[in-house]
Amino acid sequence: MTTVPTRHLGELAVSAQGLGCMGMSHGYGAADDTQSIATLHHALDLGVTLLDTSDFYGSGHNEELIGRAIAGRRDEVVLATKFGFANRLGEPTLIRGDAAYVRQACEASLRRLGVDHIDLYYQHRVDPRVPIEETVGAMSELVQAGKVRHLGLSEAGAQTVRRAHAVHPIAALQSEWSLWTRDLEAEIAPVCRELGIGIVPFSPLGRGFLTGRYNSTEGMAENDIRRSQPRFADGNLERNLTIVAKLTELASAKGVTAGQLALAWVQHRGDDVVPIPGTRRRQYLEENLAALAVELSPEDLAAIEAAAPAERIAGNRYDAASLTFTSR
Ligand SMILES: NC(=O)c1ccc[n+]([C@@H]2O[C@H](COP(=O)([O-])OP(=O)(O)OC[C@H]3O[C@@H](n4cnc5c(N)ncnc54)[C@H](OP(=O)(O)O)[C@@H]3O)[C@@H](O)[C@H]2O)c1
């Protein structure tokens, strides 16, 4: 029996919390497919419908893994994937949004996922060399062909969102949004709200940091992406830990974990907000889903925000090169 409420991304009904699947293939340590598939099945059993992947995660491994996990359970899933990184992991970044590439990427994702349609197809990063009208025009043709149901963008700027939505309704914008990354609040979120576009916050747990699980990068794998992220760098990490200490204090007073408090804060951004915390573990999945029941008063929200003011966050959310691909 499901206890997960429903929210809407545009016209698309989804569970109020989705499951981010990136870490099952890359970014945060070695893949363990058996454990990941058990977590995916547990998520579906508990009433999570929205699964978030990309053709980029693990250079195709993640889509193949999801395909295996949902075989026989396709109808229970709102399947979201993305295109746009035309390079493989470890190669120099190449963003492509031209119409031919959109068509080719979609076919490849359908094949890896083993499905005949994708429920929510995102452009992972905007290609500055291609007008967004061309990219979304090609995505819209995929909808007409029945290969895709709804369209999304990721890390797009406010004007791009507007132009895209004028070509075809955009159901969701997926961008980073958490207690330590609030950049989209000023301009981008208001545009989404004006246009009826849902918001899917990625890395809502600050890549795990806001749970209080990490005191250093020492135990992380050599290729863990957090090792190259400024907020985890020596000096910055220690300063950011003072924020987590305050969150942990506030969480204990409410009888929840720091991660649950951080997730509940994101969930309180609005009914059009559907975070996708990522985990490979059933235990964390359950803990994260329990955050849906955490109620925060205006006083709680103010105290949480006071614990993590923008001026106290040390370091950018991405390295300089990766930042150039965001919000454009
Ligand atoms: N559109 C984009 O450009 C973009 C970028 C990044 C991510 N995403 C999507 O957003 C999803 C979520 O973001 P994310 O995975 O980067 O970051 P996140 O959800 O903020 O954090 C994930 C990390 O937190 C750990 N974790 C999760 N729940 C926990 C808990 N209750 N207690 C302790 N640790 C916990 C996970 O550990 P374990 O893995 O060990 O369980 C993992 O290391 C991704 O999976 C991906 O689908 C999209």
Tell me the pLDDT tens digit for each residue of 219-262: 999 999 999 999 999 999 999 999 999 999 999 999 999 999 99
The CA-CA-CA angle for residues 142, 148, 152, to 5°, reads 95
Contact between 168 and 140 under an 8 Å Cβ cutoff? The reply is yes
Ligand 1 pocket check for 206: Cβ under 6 Å = yes
User: Model confidence at 289, in pLDDT bands (50, 70, 90)?
Assistant: very high
Of 28, 57, 101, 214, the catalytic one is 57
**pLDDT of 310 over the 90 cut:** yes
Is 214 a known active-site residue? no
Compute the mean pLDDT over every residue in the chain, rounded to the nearest whole number: 97
Output the CA 28–ligand 1 centroid distance in Å: 8
Q: Look at residue 3 in the predicted model and tell me its pLDDT.
A: 80
Alpha carbons 286 and 288: distance in angstroms, whole number: 5
Q: Which two tokens stand for residue 147?
A: 């290969």
Residues 278-296 have a mean pLDDT of 98
Residue 257 near residue 283 (C-beta atoms within 8 A): no
What is the 293 CA–ligand 1 centroid distance (Å)?
20
Confidence band, pLDDT 50/70/90 cuts, at residue 327: confident
- Asked if 192 contacts 164 with a C-beta cutoff of 8 angstroms, the reply is no
Per-residue pLDDT at 1 = 41
Phi-psi map region of 85: left, alpha, beta (phi>0 left; psi -120 to 50 alpha)? beta
Burial pattern 48-74, b for ≥16 Cβ within 10 A else e, equals bbbbbbbbbbbbbbbbbbbbebbeeee
Residues 6+ apart with CB under 8 A from 80: 18, 50, 51, 52, 53, 118, 119, 120, 121, 122, 152, 200
Pairwise CA distance, residues 217 & 222, whole Å = 10
Beta-carbon contacts of 250 under 8 Å, excluding residues fewer than 6 positions away, are 261, 300, 303, 304, 307
As a whole number, mean pLDDT of residues 105-117 equals 98
Mean pLDDT for 120-139 is 98
Take atom 5 of ligand 1 and give the residue whose Cα is closest.
202
Residue 208 Cα to ligand 1 middle (Å): 6
Query: In this model, does residue 317 exceed pLDDT 90?
Result: yes
Q: Of 174, 176, 127, 124, which is closest to residue 316 (Cα–Cα)? A: 176
Give me the sign of the Cα torsion angle 55, 61, 64, 65: negative
Q: Which two tokens stand for residue 204?
A: 């809502």
Across the range 216-220, mean pLDDT stands at: 94
* CA 102 to the chain's CA centroid: 20
30-82, pLDDT tens digit by residue? 999 999 999 999 999 999 999 999 999 999 999 999 999 999 999 999 999 99
Cα–Cα dist 324/326, whole Å: 6
Checking if the pLDDT of 26 tops 50, the result is: yes
Q: How far apart are CA 65 and CA 112, in angstroms?
A: 9
CA proximity to 179, closest of 299, 112, 115, 275: 275
- How much of the chain, in percent, has pLDDT values that exceed 90? 97
Is the pLDDT at 328 greater than 90? The verdict is no
Q: What is the mean pLDDT of residues 288-315?
A: 97
The tokens of 189 are what? Answer: 């979120």
Residue that the structure tokens 């951080």 belong to:
262
4 and 275 in contact (C-beta within 8 Å)?
Answer: no
Residue 2 has pLDDT above 90, yes or no: no
- For a ligand 1 pocket test, name from 188, 202, 283 the mutation site with the most ligand atoms within 8 angstroms of its C-beta: 202
What percent of the chain is predicted at pLDDT more than 70? 99
